[in-house]
Amino acid sequence: MNDRNQTELRTRLTMHLKGGEAYAPISTVLEQLPYSKTGISPHGLPYTFYQLMYHIRFAQLDILEYCRNPNYTTPAWPDDYWPEEKAAANEQEWDALLDSYFEERDAFCALIMDASNDLFKPFSDNPEHNLIRQAQLVIEHSSYHTGQLFVLYRLLNQ
């Protein structure tokens, strides 16, 4: 693949990571829901807006660390990926969660855009994994759960 195609692929991946290509960016729904509703689970759903956002952020960070840390250790599934608390302790904790999500997403985008990182090079611990595969996981996971956030938003604002 020539340099121009590599750059185009890297740009496309980061655009999809940020959302808005085939689905609304996560920031759209985050900007609309007031903090006061983030700890409510409507109609018997098994999670709240906070728990779902925590999960999205944790999974993204998990995959980012897997890509950039050769001494990576897998967190415990599902316990580490879903918080027991239905809501953040306060609005500052909620804001910190969102800030972390966006900072880590930007770090993942920078990892992808860095031409010194081969998108197709197999990872040493698993030759079936590479940076492009991990980017696709984050894209698919985030888009799936972003849809759930929009459903939760609608249910919380009926």
Whether 21 shows a pLDDT value over 80: the answer reads no
Average pLDDT, the chain: 95
Residue type, 64: L
Residues 6+ apart with CB under 8 A from 121: 130, 131
pLDDT at residue number 27: 95
- Helix or strand holding residue 109 (H, E): helix 91-113
Per-residue pLDDT tens digits for 23-55:
789 999 999 999 999 999 998 899 999 999 999
Contacts within 8 Å (CB) and 24+ apart, 8-15: 9/119, 9/132, 10/112, 10/113, 10/115, 10/119, 11/113, 13/112, 13/132, 13/135, 13/136, 13/139, 14/109, 14/112, 14/113
Whether 9 shows a pLDDT value over 90: the answer reads yes
Please give the domain boundaries of the chain with CATH numbers for all domains.
3-156 (1.20.120)
Whether 122 shows a pLDDT value over 80: the answer reads yes
Give SS3 for 126: strand
Helix, strand, coil shares of the chain, percent, nearest 5, are 60, 0, 35
Whether 20 shows a pLDDT value over 90: the answer reads no
Per-residue pLDDT tens digits for 132-150:
999 999 999 999 999 999 9
User: pLDDT exceeding 90 applies to what percent of the chain?
Assistant: 89
pLDDT at residue number 135: 98
